[in-house]
Homo-oligomer: A and B are copies of this chain.
Protein backbone atom coordinates (compact mmCIF):
# COMPACT_ATOMS: atom_id res chain seq x y z
CA UNK A 1 0.00 0.00 0.00
CA UNK A 2 1.45 3.44 0.74
CA UNK A 3 0.25 4.99 -2.47
CA UNK A 4 1.51 8.38 -3.48
CA UNK A 5 -1.45 10.18 -4.96
CA UNK A 6 -0.54 12.86 -7.48
CA UNK A 7 3.12 13.26 -8.28
CA UNK A 8 4.02 15.41 -11.20
CA UNK A 9 3.36 14.72 -14.85
CA UNK A 10 6.56 12.91 -15.68
CA UNK A 11 6.13 10.39 -12.90
CA UNK A 12 2.69 9.69 -14.31
CA UNK A 13 4.21 9.12 -17.71
CA UNK A 14 6.59 6.62 -16.18
CA UNK A 15 3.70 4.74 -14.59
CA UNK A 16 1.74 4.73 -17.81
CA UNK A 17 4.70 3.43 -19.80
CA UNK A 18 5.51 0.80 -17.20
CA UNK A 19 1.91 -0.42 -17.14
CA UNK A 20 1.98 -0.89 -20.89
CA UNK A 21 5.31 -2.69 -20.90
CA UNK A 22 4.79 -4.87 -17.83
CA UNK A 23 1.36 -5.99 -19.01
CA UNK A 24 2.72 -7.02 -22.42
CA UNK A 25 6.07 -8.61 -21.56
CA UNK A 26 6.04 -9.33 -17.85
CA UNK A 27 8.12 -7.81 -15.07
CA UNK A 28 11.48 -9.49 -15.51
CA UNK A 29 11.44 -9.03 -19.26
CA UNK A 30 10.79 -5.28 -19.02
CA UNK A 31 13.80 -3.02 -18.58
CA UNK A 32 14.12 0.34 -16.90
CA UNK A 33 15.55 1.75 -20.11
CA UNK A 34 12.44 0.70 -22.02
CA UNK A 35 10.29 2.37 -19.40
CA UNK A 36 12.30 5.59 -19.53
CA UNK A 37 12.26 5.72 -23.30
CA UNK A 38 8.53 5.02 -23.58
CA UNK A 39 7.83 7.64 -20.91
CA UNK A 40 9.88 10.16 -22.89
CA UNK A 41 12.32 10.81 -20.08
CA UNK A 42 15.75 9.70 -18.96
CA UNK A 43 16.83 6.69 -16.99
CA UNK A 44 18.13 8.93 -14.24
CA UNK A 45 14.83 10.68 -13.90
CA UNK A 46 12.96 7.41 -13.51
CA UNK A 47 15.15 6.69 -10.52
CA UNK A 48 14.50 10.18 -9.25
CA UNK A 49 10.80 9.38 -8.95
CA UNK A 50 10.93 5.71 -7.99
CA UNK A 51 13.50 4.05 -5.83
CA UNK A 52 13.59 0.93 -8.00
CA UNK A 53 11.74 -1.20 -10.52
CA UNK A 54 9.62 -3.07 -8.02
CA UNK A 55 8.28 0.16 -6.53
CA UNK A 56 6.86 1.07 -9.94
CA UNK A 57 5.20 -2.32 -10.20
CA UNK A 58 3.78 -2.18 -6.68
CA UNK A 59 2.45 1.35 -7.20
CA UNK A 60 0.54 0.23 -10.28
CA UNK A 61 -1.08 -2.67 -8.46
CA UNK A 62 -1.89 -0.55 -5.42
CA UNK A 63 -3.66 2.00 -7.56
CA UNK A 64 -5.72 -0.68 -9.26
CA UNK A 65 -6.87 -2.20 -5.99
CA UNK A 66 -7.68 1.29 -4.73
CA UNK A 67 -9.98 1.74 -7.72
CA UNK A 68 -11.47 -1.72 -7.23
CA UNK A 69 -12.41 -0.88 -3.66
CA UNK A 70 -13.65 2.63 -4.44
CA UNK A 71 -17.37 2.96 -3.64
CA UNK A 72 -17.75 5.27 -6.65
CA UNK A 73 -16.93 2.43 -9.05
CA UNK A 74 -20.09 1.37 -10.82
CA UNK A 75 -19.46 -2.27 -9.97
CA UNK A 76 -19.34 -1.42 -6.29
CA UNK A 77 -22.64 0.41 -6.58
CA UNK A 78 -24.13 -2.75 -8.03
CA UNK A 79 -22.69 -4.69 -5.09
CA UNK A 80 -23.97 -2.28 -2.47
CA UNK A 81 -27.53 -2.54 -3.81
CA UNK A 82 -27.31 -6.29 -3.12
CA UNK A 83 -30.08 -7.03 -5.61
CA UNK A 84 -28.56 -10.36 -6.58
CA UNK A 85 -29.57 -12.39 -8.56
CA UNK A 86 -32.01 -9.98 -10.22
CA UNK A 87 -29.22 -7.65 -11.29
CA UNK A 88 -26.94 -10.25 -12.85
CA UNK A 89 -27.14 -8.50 -16.22
CA UNK A 90 -26.06 -5.22 -14.68
CA UNK A 91 -23.30 -6.98 -12.77
CA UNK A 92 -21.98 -8.48 -16.01
CA UNK A 93 -22.03 -5.08 -17.70
CA UNK A 94 -20.23 -3.43 -14.79
CA UNK A 95 -17.55 -6.11 -14.73
CA UNK A 96 -17.08 -5.87 -18.48
CA UNK A 97 -16.53 -2.16 -17.99
CA UNK A 98 -13.85 -2.81 -15.38
CA UNK A 99 -12.10 -5.32 -17.62
CA UNK A 100 -12.26 -2.88 -20.54
CA UNK A 101 -10.80 -0.05 -18.51
CA UNK A 102 -8.30 -1.99 -16.43
CA UNK A 103 -7.36 -4.96 -18.55
CA UNK A 104 -3.68 -4.20 -18.33
CA UNK A 105 -3.84 -3.89 -14.56
CA UNK A 106 -5.52 -7.29 -14.45
CA UNK A 107 -2.58 -8.69 -16.39
CA UNK A 108 -0.33 -7.35 -13.63
CA UNK A 109 -2.14 -9.64 -11.21
CA UNK A 110 -1.13 -12.69 -13.21
CA UNK A 111 2.41 -11.34 -13.46
CA UNK A 112 2.56 -10.88 -9.72
CA UNK A 113 1.36 -14.44 -9.16
CA UNK A 114 4.09 -15.80 -11.41
CA UNK A 115 7.06 -13.57 -10.80
CA UNK A 116 6.45 -12.55 -7.18
CA UNK A 117 4.54 -15.62 -5.95
CA UNK A 118 1.55 -13.32 -5.59
CA UNK A 119 3.05 -11.23 -2.82
CA UNK A 120 1.46 -7.93 -3.92
CA UNK A 121 -2.02 -9.34 -4.61
CA UNK A 122 -2.58 -12.10 -2.08
CA UNK A 123 -4.14 -9.86 0.54
CA UNK A 124 -6.81 -8.81 -1.92
CA UNK A 125 -7.94 -12.36 -2.63
CA UNK A 126 -7.54 -13.52 0.92
CA UNK A 127 -10.03 -10.87 2.09
CA UNK A 128 -12.39 -11.27 -0.85
CA UNK A 129 -14.80 -13.75 0.71
CA UNK A 130 -15.12 -11.60 3.82
CA UNK A 131 -16.00 -8.50 1.78
CA UNK A 132 -18.77 -10.31 -0.04
CA UNK A 133 -20.16 -11.77 3.16
CA UNK A 134 -20.26 -8.35 4.78
CA UNK A 135 -22.33 -6.94 1.94
CA UNK A 136 -24.54 -9.84 0.99
CA UNK A 137 -25.10 -11.97 4.11
CA UNK A 138 -28.02 -10.06 5.60
CA UNK A 139 -30.01 -9.14 2.46
CA UNK A 140 -29.73 -12.58 0.90
CA UNK A 141 -30.64 -14.35 4.13
CA UNK A 142 -33.77 -12.26 4.20
CA UNK A 143 -34.64 -13.05 0.60
CA UNK A 144 -34.10 -16.71 1.24
CA UNK A 145 -36.47 -16.63 4.21
CA UNK A 146 -39.07 -15.04 2.00
CA UNK A 147 -38.76 -18.07 -0.29
CA UNK A 148 -37.34 -16.06 -3.18
CA UNK A 149 -34.23 -18.23 -3.40
CA UNK A 150 -33.66 -21.97 -3.67
CA UNK A 151 -31.53 -24.19 -1.51
CA UNK A 152 -28.03 -23.25 -2.71
CA UNK A 153 -25.70 -20.88 -0.83
CA UNK A 154 -26.49 -17.46 -2.34
CA UNK A 155 -23.31 -15.67 -1.22
CA UNK A 156 -21.28 -18.41 -2.84
CA UNK A 157 -23.27 -17.79 -6.00
CA UNK A 158 -22.40 -14.08 -5.88
CA UNK A 159 -18.69 -14.82 -5.65
CA UNK A 160 -18.96 -17.44 -8.36
CA UNK A 161 -20.66 -14.98 -10.67
CA UNK A 162 -18.17 -12.21 -10.06
CA UNK A 163 -15.13 -14.41 -10.48
CA UNK A 164 -16.59 -16.03 -13.58
CA UNK A 165 -17.40 -12.72 -15.27
CA UNK A 166 -13.91 -11.42 -14.55
CA UNK A 167 -12.35 -14.61 -15.84
CA UNK A 168 -14.51 -14.71 -18.95
CA UNK A 169 -14.01 -11.12 -20.06
CA UNK A 170 -10.31 -11.22 -19.29
CA UNK A 171 -9.77 -14.30 -21.44
CA UNK A 172 -11.95 -12.87 -24.21
CA UNK A 173 -10.30 -9.49 -24.36
CA UNK A 174 -6.76 -9.88 -23.07
CA UNK A 175 -5.75 -13.50 -23.49
CA UNK A 176 -6.26 -13.11 -27.21
CA UNK A 177 -8.90 -15.81 -27.45
CA UNK A 178 -12.21 -14.18 -28.36
CA UNK A 179 -15.20 -16.48 -28.65
CA UNK A 180 -13.46 -19.25 -26.73
CA UNK A 181 -16.88 -20.62 -25.81
CA UNK A 182 -17.82 -20.69 -29.46
CA UNK A 183 -20.35 -17.87 -29.16
CA UNK A 184 -20.62 -14.10 -28.83
CA UNK A 185 -19.75 -12.63 -25.44
CA UNK A 186 -23.29 -11.42 -24.87
CA UNK A 187 -24.68 -14.82 -25.66
CA UNK A 188 -22.22 -16.52 -23.32
CA UNK A 189 -23.12 -14.08 -20.56
CA UNK A 190 -26.80 -14.71 -21.20
CA UNK A 191 -26.31 -18.49 -21.03
CA UNK A 192 -24.29 -18.23 -17.84
CA UNK A 193 -26.99 -16.18 -16.18
CA UNK A 194 -29.62 -18.68 -17.23
CA UNK A 195 -27.62 -21.55 -15.75
CA UNK A 196 -27.10 -19.60 -12.58
CA UNK A 197 -30.73 -18.70 -12.11
CA UNK A 198 -32.35 -21.89 -13.28
CA UNK A 199 -29.80 -24.70 -13.30
CA UNK A 200 -29.44 -27.50 -15.80
CA UNK A 201 -32.02 -29.96 -14.63
CA UNK A 202 -35.67 -29.58 -15.57
CA UNK A 203 -37.80 -27.41 -13.27
CA UNK A 204 -41.38 -27.54 -12.15
CA UNK A 205 -41.93 -23.84 -12.78
CA UNK A 206 -40.54 -22.13 -15.91
CA UNK A 207 -37.28 -20.15 -15.90
CA UNK A 208 -38.02 -16.40 -15.73
CA UNK A 209 -37.03 -14.39 -18.82
CA UNK A 210 -33.87 -12.29 -18.77
CA UNK A 211 -34.03 -8.76 -17.47
CA UNK A 212 -33.24 -5.92 -19.85
CA UNK A 213 -29.59 -4.88 -19.53
CA UNK A 214 -29.37 -1.78 -17.40
CA UNK A 215 -28.30 1.39 -19.24
CA UNK A 216 -25.99 1.39 -22.20
CA UNK A 217 -25.60 -2.27 -23.14
CA UNK A 218 -22.13 -3.63 -23.74
CA UNK A 219 -20.77 -7.14 -24.22
CA UNK A 220 -19.99 -6.42 -27.84
CA UNK A 221 -17.02 -4.08 -28.04
CA UNK A 222 -13.89 -5.82 -29.25
CA UNK A 223 -10.88 -5.98 -26.96
CA UNK A 224 -7.39 -5.03 -27.91
CA UNK A 225 -5.74 -7.38 -30.39
CA UNK A 226 -2.55 -8.36 -28.62
CA UNK A 227 0.38 -8.16 -31.02
Contacts and interface: CB of A to CB of B under 8 A. Distances in A.
A122 B114 CA distance: 19
Contacts of A153: 191
B130 A156 contact: no
A96 B217 CA distance: 37
Chain A interface category by residue count: 35 or more
Interface string A168-205: 00010011110111110000100110111111111111
A9 to B, nearest CB: 28
28 contacts: A24-B114, A24-B117, A26-B114, A29-B29, A110-B110, A113-B176, A118-B176, A118-B226, A126-B177, A129-B179, A129-B180, A129-B182, A149-B202, A150-B200, A152-B195, A152-B207, A156-B188, A156-B191, A157-B195, A160-B164, A163-B167, A195-B195, A195-B196, A198-B201, A199-B199, A199-B200, A203-B205, A204-B204
Contacts of A156: 181, 183, 188, 191-192, 195
